[in-house]
Structure 1
Amino acid sequence: MALQKVLPYQGNLVKYDLIIKKQKNIVLNINNGKIKISAPSYAHDWEIEALIYKNIKKIITVINVHYNYRKIVINNPPDDTDYVYVFNEKYPLQLTQENVNTKIINHQVFLLKDAGSYDENVKKLHSFLKQKFSCKFEQLLNKWAKTMNLSYKNLTIKTMIRKWGVCYPQTKKIVLNTKLIHFNQTVLEYVIIHELSHLVHHNHSKTFWYHVEKYMPNYREKVEILKKPGI
């Protein structure tokens, strides 16, 4: 369980989560715009804070970039608006206790509020978006499989942390990250082309990238978009 801690910096309070683990060193990470510290039980507060202060400028830069590129905002302060990007289009998002099911009405997403955390609400939102738009993923995958003269046997759409897509050439299974729904359709198409290309080239050799470029000459632009933090 994480302990929520704060330390002062330039007149503001910097929040961070501290997790005590069986490890030798203090480790600092930024995840979803939040500072995460894991440390051994014998670590002193001053050691942890010294590590944060040492990297504070870089930490603030990473956090600011994360917030500039966010695709989902839930539980903002009252004067802000919650939202979610669906295929790069911004939809107002409203938490509600009144709707039986999560739904989209008049270009606004109504999300049945979870009594738990922000992460639980995001999980519920992704589950809804997956159900509503999975056919779009399949249509685009079929389109590019036909264009590239390739075939696959199975498509799975699921939320992943470190991968936008996966290809299993032996079984011809393709896995796509639900979070791709937040981007422009061409970004999703890039990932589809990328994974289909692995049916031909099983690694990231030059020949593989030439194959990707053949079908999407500007694929590097899509790669840069996917590198942006915020999801």
Structure 2
Amino acid sequence: MSISNLEIESQIIIRDIPIQIVRKPIKNLHVGVYPPHGHVRVAAPLHLTEDNIRLAVISRLSWIKKQRANFEAQPRQSKREMVSGESHYVFGERYRLEVIERRGRHEMALIPPKTLQLFVNPGTSPQNRALVLTEWYRAQLRARIPDLLDHWQPIIGQDVAEWGIKKMKTKWGSCNISQHRIWVNLELAKKPVECLEYVVVHELVHFLERHHNQRFKAYMDQYLPNWRECRDILNREPLGEL
């Protein structure tokens, strides 16, 4: 168990399903099931006992199992070997990888219509080839996010003090409300660009409303009427190896 920023974290197991519990200063209990493999997380008020939480989870068990089954049924990209002929996604579009060995700087290039070239030194390992692609994905997001922030910050009336990109196993985005900091999942470089915009707007709206309640949804409806479509796309798009 760990305590940080008034949050108490622990884990229980119900019907062979691990349940992450995060107690925090909130009013209502929330149960979430997250990609890619149906991780179950419960955000609970500090005063609730473990028995209270256990009963709440059991009452939602059929819903939890359904959500986990949906995630397991999603198509997934096979483990990448980083060889020519593989398919890789860039902002929702499928590209064929072409690996070119030559002396010099490691780099990536998009060649119309649907080729993704990877230039590496002879003998470069699959792991290092993957690192080149990962950093290229990161650069693609870094090139797009500033324009999205410039567009949406004045509309929503909230400014971001700092933003970043990182790999996340259970969330497409996250934010620190008090510090006005947001993070986006590196995997969004593979998803349709509308999904990146949705995540940016989602996190900015959290500066107005912390919880996923009706007020939050009303803001999303106001600013991005198609947000539910983007959310559903993220839930059904092929998931990459993290």
Same fold (TM over 0.5): yes
* Pairing 1:134–2:142 present: yes
Secondary structure in 2 aligned to 1:207? Answer: helix
* Pairing 1:74–2:80 present: yes
Alpha-carbon distance in 1 for matches of 2:195, 2:140: 19
Structure 2 segments unaligned to the other structure (5+ residues): 1-12, 19-34, 38-69
Alpha-carbon distance in 1 for matches of 2:79, 2:150: 32
How many residue pairs get aligned? The number is: 173
Whether the aligned pair in 2 keeps the contact of 1:126 and 1:179 (CA below 8 Å) is no
* Pairing 1:211–2:219 present: yes
Q: Percent identity?
A: 23
1:172 aligns with one of 169, 180, 191: 180
Alpha-carbon distance in 1 for matches of 2:205, 2:212: 10
Alpha-carbon distance in 2 for matches of 1:84, 1:102: 16
Number of the residue aligned with 1:9: none
Output aligned runs, 1:132-171, within 5 Å: 132-171=140-179
TM-score (norm 2): 0.60
User: How far off is 1:193 after superposition?
Assistant: 0.8
1:227 aligns with one of 220, 223, 235: 235
Alpha-carbon distance in 2 for matches of 1:207, 1:74: 41
Alpha-carbon distance in 2 for matches of 1:205, 1:89: 33
Structure 1 segments unaligned to the other structure (5+ residues): 1-23, 34-60
User: How far off is 1:144 after superposition?
Assistant: 1.1
User: How far off is 1:77 after superposition?
Assistant: 9.1
User: How far off is 1:121 after superposition?
Assistant: 4.5
CA displacement, residues 153-212 of structure 1 (integer Å, 9 cap, x when unaligned): 001012211111011110000111121111222111111110000101011111111111
* Pairing 1:109–2:116 present: yes
The AA in structure 2 aligned to 1:66 is: P
* Pairing 1:201–2:209 present: yes
User: How far off is 1:95 after superposition?
Assistant: 2.9
Secondary structure in 2 aligned to 1:66? Answer: coil
Of 192-201 and 91-100, the range deviating more from structure 2:
91-100
Alpha-carbon distance in 1 for matches of 2:75, 2:177: 34
The AA in structure 1 aligned to 2:177 is: P
Secondary structure in 2 aligned to 1:162? Answer: coil
Secondary structure in 2 aligned to 1:136? Answer: helix
Whether the aligned pair in 2 keeps the contact of 1:73 and 1:84 (CA below 8 Å) is no
Whether the aligned pair in 1 keeps the contact of 2:88 and 2:97 (CA below 8 Å) is yes
Whether the aligned pair in 2 keeps the contact of 1:138 and 1:155 (CA below 8 Å) is no
User: How far off is 1:222 after superposition?
Assistant: 1.1
Number of the residue aligned with 1:94: 98
Alpha-carbon distance in 2 for matches of 1:189, 1:73: 27
Runs of 4+ with >6 A deviation: 61-64
Secondary structure in 1 aligned to 2:216? Answer: helix
Alpha-carbon distance in 2 for matches of 1:28, 1:95: 41
CA displacement, residues 49-71 of structure 1 (integer Å, 9 cap, x when unaligned): xxxxxxxxxxxx9777424xx4x
Whether the aligned pair in 2 keeps the contact of 1:88 and 1:182 (CA below 8 Å) is yes
**Change in 2 beyond 3 A, CA 1:92/1:73:** farther
